[in-house]
Amino acid sequence: MQQTIRFVTTGDGVKLAYAASGEGPPLLKTANWLNHLEFDWQSPVWGHWFTQFSAFNRLYRYDIRGSGLSDWVDSNLDFAQQVADLECVADAAGLDRFALLGISQGASVAIEFAARHPERVTHLVIHGGFSRGWAKRGPDSDRAGRAWAELVRVGWGVNSTAAYRRLFAELFIPHATEDQTSWFEEMQRRTTTPELAARIMEAAGQIDVSDRLSAVKAPTLVLHPRGDAVVPFDQGRRIAAGIAGASFVELDSENHLLVESEPAWNRFKEEVGEFLGWRREAPRRRASDAPGESDDLAMLTAREREILDLVASGATNQEIADRLFISEKTVRNHLTAIFDKIGVSSRSQAIVFARDRGLAGRPH
């Protein structure tokens, strides 16, 4: 699989690098603390993430200003500019409606964009994110964050000892292989300067989108590793609790960035795949019960087909929730995704769509 890298110039004259890979519905990953489109692409830390999303989506990524292939500028690194840069990349890529993936620091940027542009965001996926930066979580967190930033300033760079860089690698991925740890150390050297890395980290510390969560209208999935040492687990819970109808998934991991070999990565793929509607074969009870396959239905997950079948049979949202042992809010989120995929805008249109394709052959 290949990626295509392009550049866009922001309103203040900064060149941002962005990449596209894969085919399918568009999904834009917001930039996190440090990125490098080319170096990340072959990474033992990020590679399985990009391969997975590119297999089902047209994946867009970009390097945050001050790092990677974007201009290494030392001005306008604050949160407001980060959101403006996301808007710039989305427009340059020609994205109208798309899913957003926010990881770590990128989660807050995604949340703010979704709150500002509800008409553009079809789905919001948050992993290891926070609504309040480290400087906004109390004196202990503030003190720790400042110490981290100073460690970056004095410990990174070509002439520094690898011990400082290894510290950050083990914080972000405590159960990494030696190859993954070595890559993370090298990423810190290649991606930006120690001063810029520290300043981007300090800008992240000042973020607070806690009062913007209620403005997010897109169906939202929040995942967070239970033992995350970089972003506290409670931050993920707070995001999910603040966004109406959001689903929350606790991942059994201590890695801030999930590695491919751990069980939590499989759980992540299952949950995100179900949420985004990645194609998979629907289980069938008996051959005689199976509806005829159609391209229109192939885009739906097994759960989405089940819900559409129940809708077409006349079941209400609450009846569907009771039957499937899920919440009514989760049913509404699934219906939003179903309507978007099959191109209808009302329940009555969905019923006609389903019955024309052989669903709802039996009352429920």
- pLDDT band for 158, please (50, 70, 90 cuts): low
3-class DSSP state of 285: coil
Residue 311 backbone phi and psi in degrees, to 5: -60, -45
Q: Which of 115-119, 147-151, 278-282, 328-332 has the lowest mean pLDDT?
A: 278-282
- pLDDT band for 364, please (50, 70, 90 cuts): very low
Q: What is the CATH number of domain 287-356?
A: 1.10.10.10
The residue whose two tokens read 């609504």 is 131
Treating both helix axes as pointing N-terminal to C-terminal, what angle do 328-342 and 347-356 enclose, rounded to 10 degrees?
60
- pLDDT band for 283, please (50, 70, 90 cuts): very low
DSSP H helix total and E strand total for the chain: 15, 8
Do 99 and 28 contact (CB within 8 A), yes or no?
yes
Distance CA 112, CA 86 (A): 10
303 membership: H or E segment, kind and range: helix 302-312
Residue 59 backbone phi and psi in degrees, to 5: -90, 130
pLDDT at 13 over 80: yes
pLDDT at 160 over 70: no
- pLDDT band for 328, please (50, 70, 90 cuts): confident
Other beta carbons less than 10 A from residue 131's beta carbon: 23
On average, the pLDDT of the chain sits at 89
- The percent of residues in the chain predicted with pLDDT above 90, rounded, is 64
- pLDDT band for 36, please (50, 70, 90 cuts): very high
The residue whose two tokens read 């072959």 is 42
Do 19 and 60 contact (CB within 8 A), yes or no?
yes
Give the total residue count for the chain: 364
Token pair, residue 108, equals 């807050």
Token pair, residue 171, equals 């914080």
Judge whether 3-276 and 287-356 match in fold.
no
Degrees to nearest 5, angle at CA 127 with 132 and 65: 70
Report long-range pairs for 236-241 (Cβ below 8 Å, ≥24 apart).
236/126, 236/128, 236/129, 236/130, 238/131, 238/132, 238/210, 239/107, 239/111, 239/126, 239/129, 239/130, 239/131, 239/213
Q: What is the pLDDT of residues 98-149, one digit of tens each?
A: 999 999 999 999 999 999 999 999 999 999 999 999 999 999 999 999 999 9
Distance CA 341, CA 228 (A): 34
- pLDDT band for 33, please (50, 70, 90 cuts): confident
Q: How many CA atoms lie within 13 A of 35 on its CB side?
A: 25
Distance CA 267, CA 264 (A): 5
Do 34 and 72 contact (CB within 8 A), yes or no?
no
Distance CA 341, CA 301 (A): 11
Other beta carbons less than 10 A from residue 38's beta carbon: 15
Query: How distant, in Å, are the alpha carbons of 6, 80, 301 from that of 55?
Result: 21, 32, 15
Looking at per-residue pLDDT, the higher value among 8 and 346 belongs to 8
pLDDT at 17 over 90: yes
Position 21 scores a pLDDT of 97
59 membership: H or E segment, kind and range: strand 58-62
pLDDT at 210 over 50: yes
Q: What is the CATH number of domain 3-276?
A: 3.40.50.1820
Position 239 scores a pLDDT of 98
Do 98 and 121 contact (CB within 8 A), yes or no?
yes
Position 280 scores a pLDDT of 56
The ranges assigned to domains in the chain are 3-276, 287-356
Distance CA 339, CA 327 (A): 19
β-sheet bridge partners, residue 225: 251
Nearest to 185 by CA among 34, 6, 52: 34
Residue 323 backbone phi and psi in degrees, to 5: -70, -35
